[in-house]
Structure 1
């Protein structure tokens, strides 16, 4: 029986040895109590390099680095294993060829039944490849961390799956104002505006990122100090190897300056488009006004001529009614010319405060009892170079429009101030940079939609009922301000009122000058003044002019264009006055004709007429002996002009 048990024990030991020798991924060997190697398996031979005959009987400390041996580490390892029942660590070990490998080491003490130490079982595993991979990963993570930490133009940080901040880079601190200690653990929704939080935008952003793999948007975000910045935001979900969501990567960039630049460009483009549109409409309306003045010239003067021969009360009343209508037409024409910036202006330096104070009574009367007019006028203000009467007319037009926008009453404020436009702000308005006097007219009326506000200065555009307005009042204001070198703006919100802002170039010094008095009594010339040459390409206008000069006692010669007039001047020596339209066909205009006429007849008097104002015509040629009259003219005005020419030297 004892022999059988001994045989079985020997057999078990043999099988165990075969098992140990078969293991090649682990070095499994025995040490005696002093650390001498007593056994050796194939795994130990594979990655330590020693065959069994070379290593048996050697001390296991030869596997340790020189530094560890010098520090007595091998002996302490055995003492620890014997004392604590186990020793386990990871460290560098040395192969037979002197190369190092990273080892995971476990040492267990072996004791007999009485507890006596028989030696140690040592198991070593080569983890060099794993450690290299871990170090490579660690280095990669470190480089990535340095990269992220080095970025200051972008806020780059992590969120957990619920949206709480888990890390923070310097770019996030620079842009948003929070240090990492302040913000870590806080919910990222604090960066959103109150309006966005109320609509649940932060939560939707995370849901979209999770569902679609990415969320990107632009919008307002908040800094620590409460100020807003315009941000480009990208949120990406992060998944682990098991495809489980572990958080979000969030990148934010402050693009406020870019947005401001884009808005400034859009404003400049809109202003340019509006300016070009108004310029085109202005050219059209100026041409219409010119043609309309030709028609009015015929109507007005035929009516004036009729009054000299009509005696019946009914006929006189009809003619007077027609004259009033023609005068109204002339006023509309002047408003069209004002919009097209072709009205004649009598500009002078004025104190805008004195202008408004002197006109206050008229403005209050125009407001009516339901509107509370308030004036906010400084004690001192720069001068402006404007036509005083046109300034008052523009202000009255604005007041009347404001009054009509407050049918149930309201507050109307006229205020004056000053500003200094920078190059950028002036460029948007297409006016020179520099100091400006600012005149604002603000009401609490119905206000306008953006579409209506963009069209208020267009001729004949009106929101009033039929018969309540011509749509030319604000056109006159626009034309007057721009012709005076200024700028006008509209700020209106539907239901909240309108503010009209006028900017006029400021002049530091100057003295207000009053308008020269002009006589309201015009006396027609009754005496014969000689021969007149009338040059007019419109037959109807030519016919009316001929009638007027004939009624004033002139001998009349006519021509339809400049070339015909020159032919008459070269053959007829008895011409005293040249009366010519300015705009004519066949190349030569009235101004050029006047110069040619004075070369042929140095003493000839020249009177030029046009539906355009004198300010819109070439300035050369208007010297002594040359005068100008605007269409539509009346025969009494024409008589006064001729009398002035005759008395001039």
Structure 2
């Protein structure tokens, strides 16, 4: 791997007013970093072509006529490059900070408010250069890969023509087979999802249409059943999207202490309604069961999926057994599986005496989109969702089955170590009305979600301020506006919600943050994503949950 030269890691400094340039250069030099002062934006753009590790630029310098040259340079960076920019800002509103206008255009930008502490500057520069070195490493890997491909191509060209033709034919056949399998999987997925979503949308749209007709005629009786129908269909749609995220291990898990026996018992009525009358349900719960560590909502979904699969395997009736057990897995067992550690596990076991599966089906049972059911009767995401959930929870899942002998599925979840948290469920009868002056900043790029959240909080007496993206929210956070809580979508355009929260806490160190997310790859494990004073709820959420979270966080 090549080492970047001195020009590639230097800092280009542009701060035309006062002694900011000289001070920054001196601090960088004392910390062992090279820094060159640029007199104007045109000179900075010229120096960029020679190489730079980062740019340290004052906000007022961006007001010059050469800004477009800088923006074009940033836009035309190679794929591996994302030049770090430290933007020196003034304390105050948007009128003093052109960064509010140019932040999104500059790309990889970090804000540093003047007067700055030397340690803060050096920390930002160190982080920026560390990221820049990774970019250079990526560039070198791309070059190595390109060179390797060229060497491989040269080698292939020296082989006999017959070998080339045979290799090309084999590759063509392999690609054709892969494409055929891919299209089959996509067709299975789209067919199942289209069928399910069309049914769900029919329930949602139909109930809303009937509501509108009845209200137009002044008929207000029996509206609850129509509302329940629409909400049920919408919840089914939400469940399907969660299953898609689950098998990809991109769902946001809220792992906590779970009493699996209590969870299974609470679902008994739902499970009985989900199976045929010809199927006998037998609960065999271990009286000395350990406490498990898992996301209870995802565990409920996994249990329901296993029961539904067992039901489908017994069309003529049979016996379905749901068990719980304690089990210790030793190193000899766990060594055969990636990311499975020896130790204590709480096991959920679902057994049926249905049609069973041959080994060829078992081998593919956890594959996403794979199903033995006809199109429209399953997306093939049930078992793959359970597999993804178990792995993301540091657990394990197994299938034991034979044709005509039934099937047993075991879901292993780690034993909880620590003191269980008390149940903090909110009493739905106690609405979280706001105290006078309590204000929430709502940052959400989807207008519909933003309007609904604002309306619900407004009805409860909360004052609120809205922003469609992080760039619009930063000036609000950097102002005298009272903000008791920041509610932010994680997946914002440009700067994401987590980055916004970091900047917000620079202005307001005690800022409380409630994240809302439909999909957030880096927020998949909440414990590694949330700092103290931060919480998260997953879309779609009930407004009871939202308002309860708002009240608890503001008054905590």
Give the structure with the larger strand fraction: 1
The structure with the larger Rg is 1
Which of the pair has the greater relative contact order for Cα pairs under 8 Å at 6+ separation? 2
Q: Give the TM-score taking structure 1 as reference length.
A: 0.44
What TM-score do you get using the length of structure 2 for normalisation?
0.50
